[in-house]
């Protein structure tokens, strides 16, 4: 911290400037500057200079943000799977092979490619109907206790056993991602999902691929849809407008509106007088899914919901006519907390049940009459529904289908019609073969990748051909049936692998951009001597020039390389050329460069923490146990600062440092008790975030946590202000009143929410709902509207006191000595820190509101820890060290886990969107979910400037440069993590655990980096503008 020391200047002007500055300083050191006209002018100049330097800093970090975004975009677009969508449609009159048994194809009335079995169908989706909900529990020979979700919907299992020719029940395995939108695509097109659609759950987009619904529509069938409105996003205008009823699907806290709507409208349609008005009904119940999201499966609400479904199915069976097929299925399952999206067993295992009044269904073995005891036995894929329904209803199989007809539906009541089974499988396989051929042509795929499947295709045709023309026993068709099945299985496997085909050049180029940006950031943050704000203009200028040049080069290159998409070339050249521009700027200022490698134990610890964490992400175990690793690192930091504090010379520093270090460790450990375990951590982890491991509601005792936070947190923060007598002016208004009131309101919100959830006051639900939303909005207004007004316009937290001259208080500055009294400025010692830290408390309030009660405790502790950390950094004189910003990164990542999150899709708390709003509103909905998910990282990022401002003298030189250095270091931490997770995800792209572990961690890392970039630029660095201007209003500008 050699603020006054002169540095080797790189320009003559700088030297002259420094001289002038030194003279001015001398003049200023005489005492408070007299406000002459000259001084006022100089002051104005200082302000203009600061605003310009600050603006350039914001621009520079924004530019880093853009580089990060470009690199992440390029990698992501090559990494998240892509599948070419073929526009071909199957046609009724054009079967993929000549038909067997002299059947004349081409008529929807009798059946397009195969004689149809049913005239009409009712297809009901019970969202998130997990397979184990439908089978009896406990299984024979086990004495486990049934849960709420067990034995509540017995109808499916009973009918399958008692009337095996009318019904069958099978495990129905979803292809991840297990989000409803993706599942509906799979269930209607019969093809595999690609990951890139996973994020579009907010707004679905129409399916243009060939699909069952489109085929039905082409055949002039009248289709009715009832329930979840996602269908309308996928199939706009396909349904009978006057019979169809769609309901908002996103309000997961509403268990009944959608379900009651479906039930109210479906039974009238099943009346004999109305059955002529429609051909196919798609009904989509959401209650089970919403009960899972809201309460988790282990809750009486789930039991009630499943029993309601049971009754409805019973009623449907009663009213069903002979020519109609009834299908009940889940589109995916749910994990132990009732969420879904990923690919754990519980999430992909749904149930499928088909029922008909005619005795049409059979089993190939009598043992198969009993539905499988677990979803691991005899499972069928969800895409198998597509060819099955198509052939049963006499439709052509959609062109892109990869599924196989379900055995039970075609084998006949006696379970021996292998001829029929062979015929339908031949049809399905031929369509698959036709599709594969077209796909291979369109994508120019090498024949070698298809060699095995082509061989199987030949074998199947030979097996079929050997029977051709002869009327044989049904058993002899077993061979061709098996051969066609084998071909379908192999093709499905090839497609899974093929569509897991990554665009490696894009990924590599994305990683290159991220790596170059990382180097730039590393040099900027750690490799420059002196004030960064002086050097940022030249960096920004050269970087910008480089980018502009890169765009030109990119245009030229894209002409030369017509095979590569222009957007890819442009992004790559402009980003790389921009980093080269910055590199040239570094060369220009080379005399100011120092080695970015650490030289102190703190530097090495910063590097060690970051590198160990990054290396660990290559192993699934370390990724799974990231929360524990972070706890370990944070405690290590606390122990080291305890040791370091004991080395301090001043007893006060020693005592304060030790106290805050030990406090920091203990708070970390207390916070670590809040856990939400991911599936892979079982059985070594016990979730405490909600009432139980199978719940997503808080226990009653947890409701007390926000109140404790409201009572204690403002007191603790006040103490940190009190140490330097900075609890003055607006700080009293904010900390003493507004913050506390806001925290109390937030606590009240969660109590009301629990009352609404648990239905404590029946009949008052609507009032509770309205009240809690209003309370949430008021809290937000206090935190951000009132908070920012206070932050922007309040004076520095100072007070003037005249007292006897013997007062020896270090927190106040004696400005006019002599005579009997002196005037002291209270709060002088921490004027910058106390002023800026207000921003932390504001955002803390906003973030606490959007966390569940347990999360409010975690964020409360995090806020307390932030202030402790500021004291630790100050007493150990580490403001210049990288350890502060790095530990803030660790702390943010740690509390991410402590606020009930994991690096998995299913742990996203979507319901946050409804805290201050009733419906989805852009852009607020995604912003709220982001604030909930990354609240901890956001809070810690906001605290970064405070590290270098806490207890710094108001007129210290180069404070803005120090802020830039700290912010750069903080971003560096996340950039390293992001680069590591990106590289590991790319490198391990064939790993078994890619979608379960590495890919979600990569997405988390990328999102966190972008969010932290944004917050650092616009909230943290942006906030320093307000606080610096406010301090300078009193103390004037130093440069």
Partner 1 sequence: MTTVINSHPKPRAPANPIDILNNDAAKLYTHLHPALVLSLYAYQFRSIVADPVPALTSALVPLSILQIAYVATCLPPTGNSGSSTLQQEKRKPGEKKKPVPGKVEVGINVKIIPAFLSLLLSLLVATPLLTATLVLFGAPITTHHTHTLLCGAHIALLSTLPLVYVHGVDGETWREIVAMLLPIDEVYGGLIGTVVGAWVGAVPIPLDWDREWQKWPVTIVTGAYIGFVVGKLVGGTLLRGKKIMFE
Q: Tell me how far, at minimum, the Cβ of 612 lies from partner 1, in Å.
A: 9
Write the interaction track for partner 1 spanning residues 662-681; mark x where CB under 8 A is met and - where it is not: ---xx-xx--xx--------
Q: Considering only residues 470, 471, 590, 649, which one is a binding residue for partner 1 as defined by CB under 8 A? A: 649
Q: Which two tokens stand for residue 965?
A: 């250095």
Q: Is 813 exposed, middle or buried (0-12, 13-18, 19+ CB in 10 A)?
A: middle
DSSP classification of residue 174: P
CA distances 695 to 132, 146, 150, 450, Å, are 17, 16, 15, 46
CA distances 297 to 301, 529, 694, Å, are 8, 58, 6
- Of the candidate spans 2-10, 178-186, 456-464, 641-649, the one that interacts with partner 1 by CB under 8 A turns out to be 641-649
Complex with partner 1: residue 466 or 810, whichever CB lies closer: 810
**Site for partner 1 contains 987 (CB under 8 A):** no
Q: Tell me how far, at minimum, the Cβ of 702 lies from partner 1, in Å.
A: 18
**Site for partner 1 contains 613 (CB under 8 A):** no
Nearest to 856 by CA among 637, 1010, 1012, 706: 706
Complex with partner 1: residue 668 or 969, whichever CB lies closer: 668
What SS3 state is found at 561? coil
Q: Is 687 exposed, middle or buried (0-12, 13-18, 19+ CB in 10 A)?
A: buried
Nearest to 500 by CA among 86, 88, 78, 188: 78
Write the interaction track for partner 1 spanning residues 563-602; mark x where CB under 8 A is met and - where it is not: -------------------------------------xxx
CA 764 to chain centre: 34
Complex with partner 1: residue 1 or 20, whichever CB lies closer: 1
Complex with partner 1: residue 557 or 601, whichever CB lies closer: 601
Question: How far is Cα 980 from Cα 974, in angstroms, rounded to an integer?
Answer: 10
Q: Tell me how far, at minimum, the Cβ of 27 lies from partner 1, in Å.
A: 23
Q: Tell me how far, at minimum, the Cβ of 723 lies from partner 1, in Å.
A: 16
Q: Tell me how far, at minimum, the Cβ of 977 lies from partner 1, in Å.
A: 18
What SS3 state is found at 842? helix
Q: Tell me how far, at minimum, the Cβ of 640 lies from partner 1, in Å.
A: 8
225 sits in which H/E element:
strand 223-228
For residues 405 and 425, is the Cβ–Cβ distance under 8 A?
yes
Q: Considering only residues 41, 314, 378, 650, which one is a binding residue for partner 1 as defined by CB under 8 A? A: 650
Question: How far is Cα 998 from Cα 68, in angstroms, rounded to an integer?
Answer: 19
For residues 248 and 229, is the Cβ–Cβ distance under 8 A?
yes
**Site for partner 1 contains 625 (CB under 8 A):** yes
Q: Which two tokens stand for residue 316?
A: 């449907």
Q: Tell me how far, at minimum, the Cβ of 884 lies from partner 1, in Å.
A: 15
Q: Considering only residues 211, 249, 644, 925, which one is a binding residue for partner 1 as defined by CB under 8 A? A: 644
Q: Considering only residues 104, 271, 444, 621, which one is a binding residue for partner 1 as defined by CB under 8 A? A: 621
Complex with partner 1: residue 182 or 672, whichever CB lies closer: 672
Complex with partner 1: residue 636 or 777, whichever CB lies closer: 636
Q: Considering only residues 635, 693, 699, 1019, which one is a binding residue for partner 1 as defined by CB under 8 A? A: 635
- Of the candidate spans 141-149, 159-167, 413-421, 614-622, the one that interacts with partner 1 by CB under 8 A turns out to be 614-622
Q: Considering only residues 643, 663, 693, 908, which one is a binding residue for partner 1 as defined by CB under 8 A? A: 643
- Of the candidate spans 72-80, 456-464, 570-578, 631-639, the one that interacts with partner 1 by CB under 8 A turns out to be 631-639
Q: Tell me how far, at minimum, the Cβ of 663 lies from partner 1, in Å.
A: 12
Q: Tell me how far, at minimum, the Cβ of 830 lies from partner 1, in Å.
A: 15
Question: How far is Cα 641 from Cα 661, in angstroms, rounded to an integer?
Answer: 6
DSSP classification of residue 908: -
- Of the candidate spans 148-156, 323-331, 477-485, 633-641, the one that interacts with partner 1 by CB under 8 A turns out to be 633-641
Nearest to 585 by CA among 529, 546, 531, 530: 546
**Site for partner 1 contains 879 (CB under 8 A):** no
Complex with partner 1: residue 466 or 600, whichever CB lies closer: 600
935 sits in which H/E element:
helix 935-949
Complex with partner 1: residue 13 or 992, whichever CB lies closer: 992
Nearest to 624 by CA among 684, 682, 685, 680: 680
Complex with partner 1: residue 449 or 600, whichever CB lies closer: 600
Q: Tell me how far, at minimum, the Cβ of 877 lies from partner 1, in Å.
A: 9
Q: Tell me how far, at minimum, the Cβ of 631 lies from partner 1, in Å.
A: 5
Complex with partner 1: residue 501 or 991, whichever CB lies closer: 991
Touching partner 1, residues 941-960 (CB under 8 A): none
Touching partner 1, residues 798-827 (CB under 8 A): 810
- Of the candidate spans 116-124, 262-270, 546-554, 632-640, the one that interacts with partner 1 by CB under 8 A turns out to be 632-640
How would you write 398-434 as a 3-class SS string?
A: CCCCCCCCCHHHHCCCCCCCHHHHHHHHHHHHHHHHH
Q: Considering only residues 552, 561, 652, 785, which one is a binding residue for partner 1 as defined by CB under 8 A? A: 652
Question: How far is Cα 185 from Cα 383, in angstroms, rounded to an integer?
Answer: 10
Q: Considering only residues 43, 509, 620, 1039, which one is a binding residue for partner 1 as defined by CB under 8 A? A: 620
Tell me how far apart the terminal alpha carbons of the chain are, to the nearest angstrom. 18
Q: Considering only residues 596, 628, 663, 1014, which one is a binding residue for partner 1 as defined by CB under 8 A? A: 628
Q: Tell me how far, at minimum, the Cβ of 997 lies from partner 1, in Å.
A: 11
Sign of the four-CA dihedral 764, 770, 773, 777: negative
Q: Tell me how far, at minimum, the Cβ of 114 lies from partner 1, in Å.
A: 48
Backbone angles phi, psi at 1008, to 5 degrees: -60, -45
- Of the candidate spans 99-107, 291-299, 419-427, 613-621, the one that interacts with partner 1 by CB under 8 A turns out to be 613-621
**Site for partner 1 contains 639 (CB under 8 A):** yes
Nearest to 838 by CA among 931, 727, 955, 951: 727
Q: Which two tokens stand for residue 534?
A: 């002086």
Tokens 């031949």 locate to: 426
* Angle, helix 999-1014 to helix 935-949, in steps of 10 degrees: 40
Q: Tell me how far, at minimum, the Cβ of 903 lies from partner 1, in Å.
A: 15
Q: Tell me how far, at minimum, the Cβ of 667 lies from partner 1, in Å.
A: 10
Question: How far is Cα 586 from Cα 20, in angstroms, rounded to an integer?
Answer: 26
Question: How far is Cα 413 from Cα 415, in angstroms, rounded to an integer?
Answer: 5
- Of the candidate spans 514-522, 640-648, 702-710, 901-909, the one that interacts with partner 1 by CB under 8 A turns out to be 640-648
As a dihedral over the C-alpha atoms of residue 480, residue 481, residue 482, residue 485, rounded to 10 degrees, the angle is 120
Q: Tell me how far, at minimum, the Cβ of 670 lies from partner 1, in Å.
A: 10
- Of the candidate spans 458-466, 487-495, 618-626, 799-807, the one that interacts with partner 1 by CB under 8 A turns out to be 618-626
Q: Tell me how far, at minimum, the Cβ of 821 lies from partner 1, in Å.
A: 24
Question: How far is Cα 159 from Cα 978, in angstroms, rounded to an integer?
Answer: 52
# residues contacting partner 1 (CB under 8 A): 32
Neighbours of 185 (CB within 10 A): 23
Question: How far is Cα 705 from Cα 661, in angstroms, rounded to an integer?
Answer: 24
CA distances 36 to 32, 33, 40, 1034, Å, are 12, 8, 6, 15
Complex with partner 1: residue 600 or 770, whichever CB lies closer: 600
Q: Tell me how far, at minimum, the Cβ of 597 lies from partner 1, in Å.
A: 15
Chain residues that interact with partner 1, rule: CB under 8 A: 600-602, 619-622, 624-625, 628-629, 631-632, 635-636, 639, 642-644, 646-647, 649-652, 665-666, 668-669, 672-673, 810
């Amino acid at each position: 911290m050699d603020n006054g020391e002169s540095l080797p200047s790189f320009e003559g002007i700088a030297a002259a400037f420094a001289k002038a500055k030194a003279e001015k300083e001398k003049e200023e050191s005489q005492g408070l500057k007299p406000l002459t006209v000259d001084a006022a002018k100089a002051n104005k100049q200082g302000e203009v200079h600061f605003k310009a330097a600050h603006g350039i800093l914001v621009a520079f970090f924004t530019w880093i943000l853009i580089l990060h975004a470009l690199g992440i975009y390029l990698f992501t677009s090559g990494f998240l799977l892509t599948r070419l969508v073929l526009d071909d449609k199957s046609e009724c009159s054009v079967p993929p092979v000549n038909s067997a048994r002299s059947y004349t194809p081409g008529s929807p009335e009798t059946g397009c490619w195969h004689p149809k079995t049913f005239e009409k169908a009712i297809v009901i989706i019970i969202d998130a109907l997990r397979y184990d909900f439908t089978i009896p529990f406990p299984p024979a020979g086990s004495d486990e206790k049934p849960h709420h979700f067990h034995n509540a919907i017995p109808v499916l299992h009973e009918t399958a056993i008692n009337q095996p020719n009318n019904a069958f029940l099978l495990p129905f395995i979803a292809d991840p991602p297990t989000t409803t939108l993706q599942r509906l695509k799979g269930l209607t097109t019969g093809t595999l999902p690609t990951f890139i659609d996973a994020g579009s759950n907010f707004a679905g987009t129409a399916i243009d691929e060939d699909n069952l619904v489109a085929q039905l529509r082409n055949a002039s069938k009248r289709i009715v849809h009832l329930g979840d409105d996602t269908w309308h996003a996928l199939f706009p205008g396909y349904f009978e407008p006057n019979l169809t009823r769609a309901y908002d699907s996103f309000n997961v806290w509403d268990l009944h509106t959608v379900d009651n709507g479906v039930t109210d409208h479906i039974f009238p349609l099943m009346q004999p007088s109305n059955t002529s008005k429609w051909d196919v009904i798609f009904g989509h119940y959401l209650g089970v899914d919403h009960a899972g999201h809201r309460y988790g499966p282990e809750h009486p609400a789930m039991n009630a919901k499943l029993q309601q479904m049971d009754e409805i199915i019973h009623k449907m069976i009663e009213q069903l006519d002979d020519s109609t097929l009834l299908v009940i299925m889940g589109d995916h399952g749910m994990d132990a907390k009732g969420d879904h999206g990923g690919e754990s067993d519980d999430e992909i295992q749904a149930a499928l049940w088909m029922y008909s009044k005619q005795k049409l269904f059979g089993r190939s073995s009598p043992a198969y009459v009993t539905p499988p005891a677990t979803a691991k036995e005899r499972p069928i894929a969800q895409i198998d529904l597509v060819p099955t329904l198509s052939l049963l209803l006499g439709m052509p199989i959609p062109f892109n289908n990869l599924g196989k007809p379900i055995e039970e539906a075609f084998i006949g009541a006696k379970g021996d019609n292998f001829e029929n089974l062979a015929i339908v499988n031949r049809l399905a396989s031929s369509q698959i073969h036709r599709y594969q051929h077209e796909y291979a042509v369109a994508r120019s795929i090498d024949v070698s990748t298809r060699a095995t499947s082509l061989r199987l295709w030949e074998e199947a045709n030979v097996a079929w051909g050997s029977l051709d023309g002869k009327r044989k026993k049904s058993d002899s068709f077993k061979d061709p049936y098996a051969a066609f099945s084998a071909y379908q299985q192999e093709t499905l496997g090839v497609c899974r692998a093929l569509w897991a085909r990554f665009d490696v050049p894009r990924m590599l180029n994305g990683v290159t951009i991220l790596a170059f940006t990382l180097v730039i950031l590393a040099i900027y943050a750690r490799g420059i001597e002196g004030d960064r704000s002086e050097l940022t203009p030249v960096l920004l200028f050269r970087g910008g020039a480089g980018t502009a040049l890169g765009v030109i080069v990119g245009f030229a290159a894209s002409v030369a390389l017509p095979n590569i998409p222009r957007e890819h070339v442009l992004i790559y050249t402009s980003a790389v050329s921009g980093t080269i521009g910055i590199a040239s700027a570094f060369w220009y200022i080379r005399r100011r460069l120092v080695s970015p490698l650490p030289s102190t134990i703190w530097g090495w610890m910063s590097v060690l923490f970051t590198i160990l964490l990054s290396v660990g992400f290559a192993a699934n175990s370390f990724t799974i146990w990231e929360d524990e690793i972070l706890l370990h690192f944070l405690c290590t930091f606390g122990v080291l600062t305890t040791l370091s504090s004991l080395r301090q010379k001043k007893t006060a520093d020693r005592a304060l440092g030790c106290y805050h270090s030990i406090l920091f460790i203990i708070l970390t450990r207390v916070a670590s008790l809040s856990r939400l375990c991911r599936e892979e951590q079982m059985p070594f982890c016990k979730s405490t975030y909600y009432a139980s491991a199978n719940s997503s509601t808080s226990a009653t005792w947890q409701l007390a946590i926000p109140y404790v936070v409201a009572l204690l947190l403002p007191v603790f923060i006040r103490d940190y202000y009190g140490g330097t007598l900075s609890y003055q002016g607006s700080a009293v208004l904010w900390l003493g009143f507004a913050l506390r009131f806001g925290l109390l309101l937030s606590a009240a919100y969660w109590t009301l929410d629990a009352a609404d959830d648990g239905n404590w006051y029946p009949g008052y639900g609507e009032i509770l709902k309205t009240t809690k939303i209003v309370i949430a909005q008021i809290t937000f207004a206090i935190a951000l509207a009132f908070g920012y007004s206070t932050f922007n316009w309040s004076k520095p937290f100072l007070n003037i006191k005249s007292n006897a001259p013997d007062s020896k208080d270090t927190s106040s500055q004696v400005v006019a000595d002599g005579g009997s009294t002196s005037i002291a400025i209270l709060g002088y010692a921490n004027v910058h820190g106390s002023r800026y830290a207000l921003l932390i408390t504001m955002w803390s309030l906003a973030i606490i509101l959007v966390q569940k009660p347990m999360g409010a405790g975690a964020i409360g502790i995090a806020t307390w820890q932030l202030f402790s950390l500021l004291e630790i950094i100050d007493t150990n004189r580490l403001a210049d060290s990288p350890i502060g910003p790095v530990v803030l990164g660790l702390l943010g990542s740690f509390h991410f886990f402590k606020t009930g999150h994991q690096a998995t899709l299913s742990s996203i708390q979507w319901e946050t969107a409804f805290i201050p709003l009733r419906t989805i509103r852009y852009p607020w909905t995604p912003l709220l979910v982001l604030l909930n998910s990354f609240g901890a990282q956001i809070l810690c990022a906001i605290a970064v400037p405070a590290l270098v401002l806490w207890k710094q003298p108001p007129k210290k030189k180069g404070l803005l440069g120090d802020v830039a250095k700290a912010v750069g270091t903080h971003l560096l931490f996340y950039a390293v993590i992001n680069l590591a997770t990106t590289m590991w995800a790319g490198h391990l792209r064939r790993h078994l655990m890619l979608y379960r572990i590495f890919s979600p961690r990569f997405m988390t890392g990328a999102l966190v980096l972008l969010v932290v970039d944004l917050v650092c630029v616009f909230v943290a660095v942006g906030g320093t503008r307000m606080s610096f201007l406010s301090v300078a209003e009193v103390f004037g500008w130093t440069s």
